Structure 1
Amino acid sequence: MVAAHASHSSSSGEWIACLDKRPLERSSEDVDIIFTRLKEVKAFEKFHPNLLQQICLCGYYENLEKGITLFRQGDIGTNWYAVLTGSLDVKVSDTSNHQDAVTICTLGIGTAFGESILDNTPRHATIVTREHSELLRIEQKDFKALWEIPKLDQVTFPHGTSASRRH
């Protein structure tokens, strides 16, 4: 995966600079700035404030060029993502040959994907950036920890995925 971290658009501004820091290097002010911005992102609008605060502490910023494959159908997931800017194509193939994959939909700003990391099931599709895109990425270990936070059972993820706890 190729990521470009050189420049941030003026609309992204200060909050992206804060999110682009390694989680352990973020100050409480950085977390507050990220929190204020993420509250406005559709993927997070129904999240409890405590959960959103934890996301601000563990999320990573991804700045991807057009044509980057995030993961392939059949891969075991390692990350969950939310689209901050741009769009990504969801491609599915009936064979193991990824060359014949067909785009079945496009994920836009405010959508989230990658919930299969909760149960280590293979990815059901290949995800490719359709244009320059900025994503929030949460690693599997952190996402699973977030899943256990009280109040998460009140959250509904985009695309109708419920946050009812799995045992």
Structure 2
Amino acid sequence: MEQQTSKLVYGMIAGALIGAGVAALLSPKTGREMRASLVELAELVKEKGPVMNEKGHEVTEKGREVVEVVKESIGVAKEWKEQIQTATEEVKTELAEFKESQDEDSSSDKSSNSGSTAAAGSSSSSSTTTGSSTSTGGAKTGTTPPAGSNKSSNYSV
């Protein structure tokens, strides 16, 4: 990675120098002006070269730091992903178990209610006739209120 970045920086510097040289050669100047421009460019390169080299190394170092931070961030993101997937699977499992237990409870309630409803129905019909024949205006016990009546009546369920 370091070698690739270094090659990239050197390639950019070399490309800039070559481009400047080609531009100087292709410009409409006399030979004397051209040589003067090339001498100025060479002096500029000698002067700015070490600074450009230092800046290139700084950019390379910053690039390495960024790469390390990105790698670390990716690692953390992968850990979080694994934890979230594990938690999701646990929740799905618990939800499925809860749903199964609710289904079992409702089916067992239905089967036990169907047997007890028949028995309760026969006993409540006898208590209804008994309660209505023996009671004279008092509260009826053991009967259900008639349909459409007020639910807060004296009837007990």
TM (norm. structure 2) is 0.21
Bigger Rg, which one: 2
Q: Which has the higher helix share?
A: 2
**Larger relative contact order (CA 8 Å, sep ≥ 6):** 1
TM (norm. structure 1) is 0.20
Q: Which has the higher strand share?
A: 1
